[in-house]
């Protein structure tokens, strides 16, 4: 929109800006299409593990989180870092959800007590 | 004006009461509410029948229980447990030396709060303590040996009413409270608590099975489960429940598992021991 507006008011400047915008867009596509590396996996896995450890401290880990972590490691061992990163990201999301559950239940359980 | 203030204070006290009640540890009040809930909801079920879990829920299920108990699937474990119980340790002593009344007819007093350790001691833990004190290896809390041994001890207590005591000790009250909290806390990806199945959904079907009410739930343990194709201890039952809701289970006989057994056993006070039991 900004590039389009400038292009209307300043045709020369606009052509440069539109060119830059296209270059940025193509660059993004290239990044999105780039295969994940071992380093990407290591970073995603470490992040997921750290969150899962927090869930462990609350004694509220989920089996599905553990399964995703295992799947991530297995995919990485097979050299499939795209899948490995996907599983690690999923594990992190599940671990975060289990932490949210534990924090919410710290007081919410009282509402369920038979009175 | 003063009257209006007094009324406002009184009203706020009344409104605040439920929150206060929920925050207070009051086992006798919990016991009464728990008992009333189940006996009113399942008014046709005789009180002592609650120990038969799903088989107490209606006449057809009760008939099934009678049929099952004619040739009980836990019989092999019972025979094995008796033999194990009567076999002396390598040092010549036996389980009878570790327990009151030589270990016969005492199941209804477990778990108890141990003032020395400040922890809840279940029968399974007491049995392993006995073994270790006599130079024997402890049994796995989830496996057949422990199930057989506790099956026999439960059998010698059949018909005796649960008699769980919560001493006037803040640590005992804290253990009870932790057990209560564990029972009502939702966990696992499926977001279920023990109460989700055994209070809110008690008597309902989950696939082909009928969910047992929490009242009397622990009186039948250990149990033979057709689903397992064998016997299971209390630990195995808790671990399986956690896994089924996609929660990572605690270690067998973890302090929180012992606390929840303490809470549930206290809630079943007065109900007869019916273990070993059999379930689908």
Q: What ipTM score was computed for the predicted complex, to two decimals?
A: 0.86
Phi, psi for residue B135 in degrees, rounded to 5: 75, 20
- Residue B104's pLDDT is 98
Residues in a beta bridge with B121: B112
Handedness of CA B48, B201, B277, B184 (dihedral sign): negative
Q: Looking at the structure, do residues A63 and A86 belong to the same domain, yes or no?
A: yes
- Residue B24's pLDDT is 81
Q: What is the pLDDT of residues A17-70, one digit of tens each?
A: 445 454 544 444 444 568 999 999 999 999 999 999 999 999 999 999 999 999
- Residue B207's pLDDT is 87
Q: The domain containing residue A6 runs over which residues? A: 2-33
Q: Does the CB of A113 have a partner CB in chain B at under 8 Å?
A: yes
> CA-based Rg of chain A, rounded to a whole angstrom?
23
Q: Which uninterrupted H or E stretch holds B278? A: strand B277-279
Q: What residues of A are in contact with residue B200 (Cβ under 8 Å)? A: 112
pLDDT band, residue A1 (cuts 50/70/90): very low
- Residue A32's pLDDT is 53
Q: Looking at the structure, do residues A75 and A89 belong to the same domain, yes or no?
A: yes
- Residue B22's pLDDT is 54
Q: Looking at the structure, do residues A24 and A58 belong to the same domain, yes or no?
A: no
CA angle B130, B116, B234 (to 5 degrees): 50
Phi, psi for residue B232 in degrees, rounded to 5: -140, 140
B100 φψ region: left (φ > 0), alpha (ψ -120 to 50), beta (else): beta
Q: Does the CB of A62 have a partner CB in chain B at under 8 Å?
A: yes
Average pLDDT over residues A77-81: 98
Q: What residues of A are in contact with residue B189 (Cβ under 8 Å)? A: 62-64, 94, 97-98
The one catalytic residue among B130, B194, B197, B241: B241
Residue B173: is its pLDDT beyond 50? Answer: yes
Average pLDDT over residues B165-176: 97
Mutation for testing the A interface, residue in B39, B246, B259 having most A CBs under 10 Å: B246
For A110, which residue in chain B has the nearest alpha carbon? Answer: B22
Average pLDDT over residues B221-250: 95
pLDDT band, residue B227 (cuts 50/70/90): confident
**Which alpha helices (H) appear in chain B, and where do they start and end?**
2-23, 27-41, 59-70, 75-86, 123-133, 144-155, 170-184, 194-195, 234-244, 255-267
Task: Kindly tell me the burial class for residue B180, based on how many C-beta atoms sit within 10 Å of its own C-beta (0-12, 13-18, 19 or more).
Answer: buried
Q: How far apart are CA B190 and CA B155, in angstroms?
A: 36
- Residue A4's pLDDT is 42
Q: Looking at the structure, do residues A14 and A44 belong to the same domain, yes or no?
A: no
Average pLDDT over residues B54-59: 91
Is the model more confident about B3 or about B118? B118
- Residue A103's pLDDT is 98
- Residue A15's pLDDT is 52
Q: What is the pLDDT of residues B17-54, one digit of tens each?
A: 334 345 689 999 999 999 999 999 999 999 999 999 99
User: What would you measure as the largest C-alpha separation in chain B, in angstroms?
Assistant: 82
Q: Looking at the structure, do residues A44 and A90 belong to the same domain, yes or no?
A: yes
**Which alpha helices (H) appear in B157-250, and where do they start and end?**
170-184, 194-195, 234-244
Is the pTM higher than 0.80? The answer reads yes
Q: Looking at the structure, do residues A27 and A45 belong to the same domain, yes or no?
A: no
Q: Looking at the structure, do residues A67 and A103 belong to the same domain, yes or no?
A: yes
- Residue A62's pLDDT is 98
pLDDT band, residue B280 (cuts 50/70/90): confident
For B22, which residue in chain A has the nearest alpha carbon? Answer: A110
Q: Looking at the structure, do residues A14 and A52 belong to the same domain, yes or no?
A: no
Q: Looking at the structure, do residues A47 and A77 belong to the same domain, yes or no?
A: yes
Q: Looking at the structure, do residues A52 and A91 belong to the same domain, yes or no?
A: yes
Average pLDDT over residues B66-75: 92
Residue A6: is its pLDDT beyond 70? Answer: no
Interface of A with B in 73-112 (CB under 8 A): 94, 97-98, 101-102, 105, 108-112
- What is the count of structural domains for chain A? 2
Residue B144: is its pLDDT beyond 90? Answer: yes
- Least Cα distance to B183 among B262, B123, B84, B252 occurs for B262
Q: How far apart are CA B242 and CA A26, in angstroms?
A: 48
Interface of B with A in 10-49 (CB under 8 A): 18, 21-23, 30, 33-34, 37
Q: Tell me the domain boundaries of chain B.
A: 28-280
Residue A87: is its pLDDT beyond 50? Answer: yes
Residue B3: is its pLDDT beyond 50? Answer: no
Active site residue B194: no
Phi, psi for residue B140 in degrees, rounded to 5: -65, 130
Mutation for testing the A interface, residue in B36, B248, B254 having most A CBs under 10 Å: B248
- Residue A109's pLDDT is 97
Q: Looking at the structure, do residues A46 and A25 belong to the same domain, yes or no?
A: no
Q: Does the CB of B229 have a partner CB in chain A at under 8 Å?
A: no
Kindly state which CATH superfamily the domain B28-280 is placed in: Cytochrome c-like domain (1.10.760.10)
Residue B228: is its pLDDT beyond 70? Answer: yes
Q: Looking at the structure, do residues A59 and A74 belong to the same domain, yes or no?
A: yes
Residue labelled with tokens 């297995």:
A74
């Amino acid at each position: 929109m900004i590039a389009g507006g400038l292009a209307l008011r300043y045709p020369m400047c606009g052509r440069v800006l539109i060119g830059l915008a296209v270059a940025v867009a193509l660059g993004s596509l290239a990044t999105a299409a780039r295969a994940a590396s071992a380093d990407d996996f290591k970073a995603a896995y470490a992040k997921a593990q750290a969150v899962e450890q927090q869930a462990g401290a609350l004694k509220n880990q989920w089996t599905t989180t553990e399964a995703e972590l295992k799947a991530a490691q297995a995919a990485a061992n097979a050299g499939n870092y795209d899948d490995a990163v996907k599983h690690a990201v999923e594990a992190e999301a599940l671990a975060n959800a289990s932490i949210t559950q534990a924090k919410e239940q710290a007081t919410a359980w009282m509402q369920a007590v038979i009175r | 004006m003063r009257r209006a203030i007094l009324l406002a204070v009184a009203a706020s006290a009344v409104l605040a009461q439920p929150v206060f009640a929920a925050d207070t540890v009051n086992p006798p009040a919990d016991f009464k509410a728990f008992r009333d809930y189940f006996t009113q909801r399942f008014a046709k079920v005789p009180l002592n029948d609650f120990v038969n879990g799903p088989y107490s829920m209606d006449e057809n299920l009760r008939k099934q229980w009678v049929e099952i108990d004619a040739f009980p699937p836990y019989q092999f474990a019972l025979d094995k447990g008796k033999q194990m119980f009567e076999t002396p340790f390598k040092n010549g002593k036996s389980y009878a030396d570790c327990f009151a009344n030589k270990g016969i007819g005492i199941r209804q007093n477990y778990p108890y709060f141990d003032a020395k350790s400040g922890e809840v001691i279940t029968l399974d833990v007491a049995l392993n303590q006995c073994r270790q004190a006599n130079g024997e290896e402890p049994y796995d809390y989830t496996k057949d040996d422990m199930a057989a041994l506790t099956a026999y001890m439960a059998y010698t207590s059949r018909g005796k009413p649960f008699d769980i005591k919560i001493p006037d000790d803040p640590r005992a009250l804290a253990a009870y409270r932790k057990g209560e909290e564990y029972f009502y806390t939702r966990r696992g990806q499926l977001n279920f608590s023990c109460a989700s199945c055994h209070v809110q959904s008690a008597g309902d079907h989950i696939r082909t099975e009928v969910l047992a009410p929490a009242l009397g739930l622990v009186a039948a343990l250990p149990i033979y489960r057709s689903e397992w194709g064998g016997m299971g201890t209390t630990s195995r039952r808790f671990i399986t429940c956690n896994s089924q809701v996609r929660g990572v289970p605690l270690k067998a006989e973890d302090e929180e598992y012992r606390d929840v057994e303490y809470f549930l056993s206290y809630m079943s006070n007065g109900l007869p021991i019916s273990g070993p039991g059999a379930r689908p």
